[in-house]
A and B are shown apart, each in its own frame.
Chain A
Amino acid sequence: MAYLEIRDFRKNFGQCEVLKGVSLSVEQGEAVSVIGSSGSGKTTLLRCIDFLETPDSGEMVLEGETLFSADGRRARESELREKRLNFGLVFQSFHLFPQYTVRKNVTLAPSLLLNARAKAYGKSLTARGVRGSALRAAVKKFRADGRREIEEDAEALLKRTELSQKANNYPAELSGGQQQRVAIARALALKPKVLLFDEPTSALDPVLTGEVVKVLRALKEEGCTMIIVTHEMRFAEKVSDKVAFMADGAIEEIGAPAEIFGDPKSEKLKKFLTEPEETEERV
């Protein structure tokens, strides 16, 4: 079985069937690009994987563990949060936290989760009979160690995304490309097993796109497992191991980049590759 298996994801929004049974398997360390015209369901697929939407039917298995199975049972919010941590999602329009510095954007979620972990750790010690000052000292040490690790991780991530110089700046002071790299660092800070990118370069001009693509390439070389929804055909062709072409809520064709771009089989893919997409600006 593959590292990440998605089986028969279906999703309706009212009358509109957005996903019509999407299955996808991703091996560990693999980068899969998802291409297709607007409205083909690419983003919905990513949102379903990250539990931001609940598929109406289907199943998802990560490392042999069933993360999602549409059995009509509504998952508890805390359960969803736990499962979401397997994934890191990077949005098209970054969604950085404007009131925090770059560093704080990266460390905020790990710090908050550390608090929760420290509380749980304290409880587990209490259950084992640790009391009083010994308990407080142990929890304090747990927090301090955690904090240090978070800070060190953040520095390393900012270095990797070439943002060390900007650590104390606010998002509004950065270019789009820098902002998107912060968003990537922020997603990586939680050490997700799979990274999800939702059109990470669509809001950027070609030069800034280059910066972000460089980071994505580096991640691929480090062996990150990634699913990238993209309009950046060159990137999809050069970096990904597999390209999935989506049309009308289904994966129309999937294969190695050479097959998809060099020898497209389906009519829809041929049409998509030869005719530039109707952009909204032209309306």
Chain B
Amino acid sequence: MFAKIIGELCIGFLTTLEIFALTLVFALPLGLVVCFAATRKFAPVRYLTRGVIWIVRGTPLMLQLLIVCYGPGLMGLPPVREPMIAVIVAFSLNYACYFAEIYRGGIAAVSAGQWEAGKALGLSRGRIFMRIVFPQVIKRILPPMSNEVITLVKDTSLANTIAVAEIIRCARNLTGTYAVDIMIPLLYAGAFYLVFVGLLTVVFNRLEKKLRG
């Protein structure tokens, strides 16, 4: 029975990993876009973006998840058939806003002299950003980023509120299937999170050391 429980939890954890990975794939670049929009000189874009960041950071992710999942259907638009899509959309948007603020801090911390040195060498703003500024930003934002990424691992459990079979939902279902005490599969699920976060911590520590040179 132990093996069966672990087996099913593994399947659930694959879904958890899927949410985790897809959210990062979309939110990391989207965060940069949001960051640029939030620091535009053109005021309407800047204020609009800052408003969006305020709303997204100011309301619970669970509420956003429910709105993305059921909102379109309730407003007479085509309903979201696949809850996983709603999860990825809500998570990516939510995390992009947090990442945007981290990027903003990181970019502001790079001295203006770096931009000027690039300019004086005849480079375009895009090149200066990609080749000179951004590598320095990555080094600076790694610690806050690792924090957010670890939070994301655990936030994936919110997906179970809209019936996505991630690991917590699997664990709860197991209670019915095998008539075991509810605590047992949930504790096992907890161990999955712990191990994965432990691995991420090691990876981030290595990365930080490597970037320090």
Contacts and interface: CB of A to CB of B under 8 A. Distances in A.
A95 B123 contact: no
Contacts of B135: 99
Interface stretch (A58-66, A84-92, A138-146): A84-92
Chain B contact residues: over half helix, strand or loop, or mixed? helix
A97 B117 contact: yes
A51 to B, nearest CB: 8
A97 B132 contact: yes
21 contacts: A50-B120, A52-B120, A77-B125, A81-B119, A84-B122, A89-B120, A91-B113, A95-B111, A95-B113, A95-B114, A95-B116, A97-B114, A99-B136, A108-B132, A109-B118, A109-B122, A112-B127, A113-B123, A172-B213, A187-B121, A190-B122
B122 A85 contact: yes
A-B CB proximity, top 4 nearest: A109-B121, A95-B117, A95-B113, A89-B120
B120 A112 contact: no
B120 A84 contact: yes
Interface in B129-149: 131-132, 135-136, 139
Nearest to A83: B122
Nearest to B130: A112
B124 interface: yes
A93 interface: yes
Nearest to A47: B116
A73 B134 CA distance: 32
Interface residues of A, number: 27
Interface residues of B, number: 20
B157 to A, nearest CB: 37
Contacts, number: 56
A99 B139 contact: yes
A88 B131 CA distance: 20
A170 interface: yes
Contact of B117 (A85, A87, A91, A113): A91
Contacts of A186: 121
Contacts of A87: 120
Nearest to A99: B135
A278 interface: no
B118 to A, nearest CB: 8
Nearest to B138: A99
Interface in A109-138: 109, 112-113
Interface in B19-45: none
A213 to B, nearest CB: 22
B140 to A, nearest CB: 11
A170 B120 contact: no
B113 A112 contact: no
A267 interface: no
A98 interface: yes
Given A99-B136, A112-B127, 7 more contacts: A81-B124, A91-B117, A91-B120, A95-B116, A113-B122, A187-B120, A187-B121
Contacts of B122: 81-82, 84-85, 109, 113, 190
Contacts of B139: 99
A101 to B, nearest CB: 10
A15 interface: no
Interface in B59-90: none
A166 to B, nearest CB: 15
